[in-house]
Structure 1
Amino acid sequence: MRNFKELLEENPVIAAVKDMNGLNKALESDVQVIFVLFGNIINISEISKKIYDNKKVGIIHIDLVDGLASREIAIEFLKNNTKFHGIISTKPQVIKAAKNYGFIAIQRSFILDTISLINVKNHLVESCDAVEILPGLLFKVMNKLSKTINKPLIAGGLISDKEDVVEALRSGATCISTTREEIWDM
């Protein structure tokens, strides 16, 4: 397979699928990379084969596979019994093991606040091929939430400057919370 970074740059939309229906739609689409966010030890071989047979890149989120533990033996099982090109995991030891078996390895991180942002930097496995951060887009979520709940909406976490404050308020937040003292007196 060609360089993974180039593949991502040429295909900026990845299909993340949660069930067989989503997988079938992804296989019929133009997307080239599919993140599989479901499965179990009984059906993942079949899932990987469908993706492989359609000449797409399949990457399994190993933390979400029923019946697999987050250990090196699970990586070996995937290597020997599936056609997946790579794995996604939140666990650094799984990322390292996947690289040892020749998989593409994507480290998934949840960034909720400044502390979790620092932790991502501190716990990043250098050999991983990519980092997936979640959530990817909160301003739209704030906008939808502010229209559907009848309560003040407070935006907190990762707000670092006036632009962030303005965008949060414009997106429907009632106010923001931040640990950054320089923002307190805006």
Structure 2
Amino acid sequence: MLYTESLLKKSPIIAAVKSLSDIQKVPKNINAILILDADILYVEKMIDLAIQKDLLIFLHIDLFKGISRDEYGIRYLARKTGIDGIVSTKGYLIKMAKEENLIAIQRLFIIDSSAFDKTLRIIEDAEPDMIEILPGLVYPRLASKLRRKIKQPIIAGGMIKEKRDVDDILSAGAVAISSSNKSLWRYKKIIK
């Protein structure tokens, strides 16, 4: 896990991709991708290309079509596909992924105070390796409160449009952002 975190700190953008074309466009400064909205017939080609590009591969299992969201589906993904980890909103999938030595990223939507409190309970129960907060733009406002409550590295995703948003999120302590916005894929972290 420390290796993954250090890779993301060096290159803090996770390219969220939906196609082979997207993966082909991932620049060399990117170390990780998040495969969104794929299906079992197409994902193998996506994974093969990502492996050729030496990318960490995360699969958003909640959006993945053609495989059961149960222990057998997780086991298959872990043992047969070459992915490094999953992203899910579901705690039971996070637990199963960890049992299969996949990096488990819990995706959480924080839209109000009650969602924030629920988030803390979900994290405590599932014990993910990393947490993805959506929408990402809320992270700088919640960062200090979250850091007091959780130990896992945080990724921010969703609604991030500009480089200054990325700067604000990373300055607030997130290790990375996930984005399908190709203009952000060439982001260079400013070292101060």
* TM-score of the aligned structures, taking structure 1 as reference length: 0.69
Once the 2 structures are TM-superposed, how far is the Cα of residue 21 of structure 1 from its aligned partner? 2.3
Residues 1:32 and 2:31 aligned together: yes
What secondary structure sits across from 1:98 in the alignment? helix
Q: Which moved more, 1:97-106 or 1:42-51?
A: 42-51
Give the aligned residue type for 1:51: A
CA distance in 2 between partners of 1:2 and 1:108 (Å): 19
Once the 2 structures are TM-superposed, how far is the Cα of residue 77 of structure 1 from its aligned partner? 1.2
CA distance in 1 between partners of 2:67 and 2:117 (Å): 29
Give the aligned residue type for 1:5: E
Does the 8 A contact of 1:45 with 1:81 survive in 2?
no
CA distance in 1 between partners of 2:19 and 2:115 (Å): 29
Once the 2 structures are TM-superposed, how far is the Cα of residue 20 of structure 1 from its aligned partner? 2.7
CA distance in 2 between partners of 1:54 and 1:2 (Å): 21
Does the 8 A contact of 2:57 with 2:85 survive in 1?
yes
What secondary structure sits across from 2:68 in the alignment? coil
Change beyond 3 A, Cα 1:111–1:2:
closer
Structural mapping, 1:1-186, within 5 Å? 3-26=3-26, 28-124=27-123, 125=125, 127-137=127-137
Name structure 1 gaps, 5 residues minimum.
Answer: 142-186
What secondary structure sits across from 2:13 in the alignment? coil
Where relative contact order (Cα < 8 A, 6+ residues apart) is larger, the structure is 2
CA distance in 2 between partners of 1:114 and 1:58 (Å): 32
Once the 2 structures are TM-superposed, how far is the Cα of residue 90 of structure 1 from its aligned partner? 0.5
Once the 2 structures are TM-superposed, how far is the Cα of residue 70 of structure 1 from its aligned partner? 1.8
CA distance in 1 between partners of 2:100 and 2:32 (Å): 20
* TM-score of the aligned structures, taking structure 2 as reference length: 0.67
Q: Which moved more, 1:12-21 or 1:130-139?
A: 130-139
Deviations 1:67-120 (A, max 9, x none): 122211111111232111111000000000001001011000111111111111
Runs of 4 or more, structure 1, over 6 Å off, are none
Does the 8 A contact of 2:91 with 2:126 survive in 1?
no
Name structure 2 gaps, 5 residues minimum.
Answer: 142-158, 160-192
Structure having the higher Rg: 1
Q: Which moved more, 1:13-22 or 1:86-95?
A: 13-22
Once the 2 structures are TM-superposed, how far is the Cα of residue 2 of structure 1 from its aligned partner? 6.1
Q: How many equivalent residue pairs?
A: 139
Q: Which moved more, 1:82-91 or 1:36-45?
A: 36-45
